[in-house]
Each structure stands twice: as structure tokens, then as C-alpha cells.
Amino acid sequence: MIDYLFSIEGLAVGTGLASVWFSVKERIWVYPIGLISVGIYVYLSFIYGIYADMGINIYYVLMSIYGWHRWLQPSESGAVKEITHNSRKEWLLSIVLFLLSWVVLFVILQRFTDSEIPLWDSLTTSLAIVGMWLMAEKKVEHWFFWIATDLLSIPLYYYKDLLLTSGQFFVFTVLAVMGWLKWNKSLSNRDQNSKPIHQ
């Protein structure tokens, strides 16, 4: 059973890393490859009793389908959805969504499950909820939420003896920083190219 779970975890890690790499490169494959990874993590989270994480992976499945659809929507100036920054309203919605989901998840985990780490589990989950939504909308700021999620998840999965997954989140952190830099550069280049040339 242990060898089987280790193999399944390895497949989830491999597809998860590939998915984030495609996200950094702004490729649509982030979603179909990511669906394989999050589907496996729904199962693993249930087996290991990380209940909020199981819930977030179900949410990932739904948001991956939504994001796949959104990324294929044409923008005003191109064939696919473009990278943008959060507006003030979107920042406000992001913060409210984060705080509300953190409180709700913490209360649920504390009162209705046998979770050993309800505060920690609910924190990483609520950060990821916002990150996934902003990623589906192709907002540069989604990388901030992923960086925070990844950094906090490294010790969480190590504590739960999911060592491959803990290592995966270390690599995720590096990729998220790379993604943030690349998406900012792409947006900056696009803005410069769209400026009118004065004679």
C-alpha cells in the first residue's frame, strides 16, 4: 500500500510540476495536465486526512475547467485572453475572499473534523482559493498567492510525511517566482508595444 501511494504521489508531483511550468510559459496545457494532478491529490488528501486540502483540490478541478474555458476566450486585441493586473475592486474582492474563506474553513475544520492542523490547513487553502481564481482570470497578482501557498505548504506536507509533495512545493515556489517575473515582463512588453509612435 505504501509503495502504491508513493507511486501515485509521484505521478501527482510530475503532472503538477508540468502544469505549473506550462502556467509560467502561459500555455493552455496548464489545465488538462493540472487536472490529472489535482484529481490524484483529491484521493491522497482524503487518505491522509488533510480535509481542507481535499476540498481545495476539488475546487481546483472545477476552476481548472473554468480557467481552461476563460483562457481560450478572445481578448480585444488577440485570439486568447491577455494577462492583466488586478483593479482596485479585484484586489478588494481578493482580500475579502481570502479572509472569509480562511475563517469559514478554520471553523469547519476545528469543529467538524479531526484535523490536527486546522489553522495551517485553512490558511494554505484560502490562499490557494484566491490564487486559482486570479489565475483563471490571467491576473499577474495570482503569483503572489501561489508563492505564499507554496512556501506554507512545504512544511505542511513534510509534517504529514508526504515528502515528494513537500519537495514539489519547494520547486513550485521557485517556478512561481519565475512566473511572476515572466508575466510582468510580458505585460510590460505588450504595454510598450501598444504605445503610439509619435513622429
> pLDDT tens digits for 66-79?
999 888 886 665 66
Please report how many Cα atoms fall inside a 13 Å half-sphere around the Cα of residue 40, on the Cβ side: 18
Where exactly are the structural domains of the chain?
A: 2-191
pTM above 0.85, yes or no: no
Total count of residues recorded for the chain? 199
> Which residue numbers in the chain have pLDDT < 70?
1-2, 4-6, 52, 74-80, 193-199
The Cα-based distances of 78 to 3, 9, 72, 121, 189 in angstroms read: 47, 38, 11, 39, 15
Q: What is the pLDDT of residue 156?
A: 86
Q: Tell me the three cell numbers of residue 50.
A: 488533510
> pLDDT tens digits for 88-131?
999 999 999 999 999 998 998 888 887 788 898 889 989 999 99
40 vs 35: CA distance, rounded Å: 9
